[in-house]
Amino acid sequence: MNLDEIFESYATKMTQLSLYQRAMNDIAKKELKQLVEYEQKFEEYPELKKYSSSLHNMVFRKAVDGQLFFYGQKELSVNERRISVFLHKNKQYQWLLAEAYEEYEDCIERLYAYAGFTNNDFWPLRDYGGITLSEIPAKDFSWFESQAINKKDAPASIVNKFREKFPLVKKIEEENELGVNLRLAMTTVEFLRHVIVHRGGEVQDKLAFKNLILKKSGLYNKGGMSEEHASFIDNFFGDGNYEKTIVLLEVRTNPEIPFDTHVNVLDTLFGYLMAHVHLIYESLKK
């Protein structure tokens, strides 16, 4: 696998994830539109209000005799159904972000495999494991990829190696035209992915969560965090009852005008992942 193929493969996978997001957004819009129409029917025919908008029964079959056992029932109002649409959409967005970060990890490992495969001096000796120097030239790309995947503390240790070999990577991570610290952005996505996978997208202690991110990013200065960095992480959480929940939904920018102008939060995070991979890809290419 050559360098361009590695990047193009990653770009293709990220393209598909972006298409999934757009499809989910379209479905949610249609559901919300149907709820508006349903609500208008209530206004037109008040006698319908006595009927349930949505009634759900939860059931399973008992292992002992196979008989049905009803364990829950939920009746939803139109407004509760509207909230459910947003919560479901957000849950889907969370999992798309988790998958995007895993694709990012895979690509970083392949880029590192390429670096070692094309230039054996790029890797430190410990990354080669228990083989002799004379055996290295005979190894194919898949062997290097396997070693990269199993590298201790990957992908962080791999990215650190790229920073060491390419000082420009470190410089642009900190100062770039995106106006964001890319090292902080990558670490934030990494920790968001962990919470999504292992805690259903909700943190227990938000302050501790931010401290962990900033410490790993090397931005926790003298026992404190800057307002700018804390605010960046807060962008990916909700308000009120959802202040500890990872929220990746679109944010309206001009609610006072009748046009759908918004910030696509998930797409912004996808862009940071793409930009970081592209930075390393371009450095290797040069």
Does the structure show a pLDDT above 70 at 49? no
Whether residue 184 contacts residue 219, with contact meaning beta carbons closer than 8 Å, is answered with: yes
Arithmetic mean of pLDDT over the chain: 91
Q: Is residue 167 part of a domain?
A: yes
- Examine residue 103 and state whether it is found in any structural domain, yes or no: yes
Does residue 72 belong to any structural domain of this protein? no
> What is the mean pLDDT of the segment spanning 119-144?
93
Number of structural domains (the chain) is 1
Query: What per-residue confidence (pLDDT) applies to 24?
Result: 96
Predicted pLDDT of residue 260: 60
CB of 254 closer than 8 Å to CB of 84 = no
* 252 domain-assigned: yes
Which residues are bridge partners to 74 per DSSP? 56
Is residue 235 a part of any domain in this protein? yes
Take residue 30 and report the two structure tokens written for it.
């249609």
> What domain range is 197 assigned to?
3-31+79-285
Q: What is the pLDDT of residue 103?
A: 98
**Closest alpha carbon to 143 in 164, 165, 123, 163:** 123
Q: Is residue 59 part of a domain?
A: no
Q: Are 270 and 14 in contact (CB under 8 A)?
A: yes
Residues paired with residue 68 on neighbouring β-strands, in sequence order: 61
Note the Cα 253 to chain centre separation in Å.
Answer: 22
pTM: 0.90
For the stretch 26-46, pLDDT in tens is 999 999 998 888 777 767 766
pLDDT recorded at residue 87? 95
In percent, the amount of the chain with pLDDT more than 70 equals 91
- What are the φ/ψ torsions at residue 52 (nearest 5 degrees)? -70, 140
Q: Is residue 47 part of a domain?
A: no
58-101: pLDDT as tens digits: 999 999 999 999 999 888 887 888 999 999 999 999 999 999 99
Instruction: For residue 260, give every residue at least 6 positions away whose Cβ sits within 8 Å of its Cβ, in sequence order, or none.
Output: 252
Say if 58 falls within a structural domain: no
Q: Concatenated DSSP letters for 164-183?
A: HH-HHHHHHHHS-TTSS-HH
Which of these ranges, 48-57, 156-165, 227-236, 242-251, has the smallest mean pLDDT? 48-57
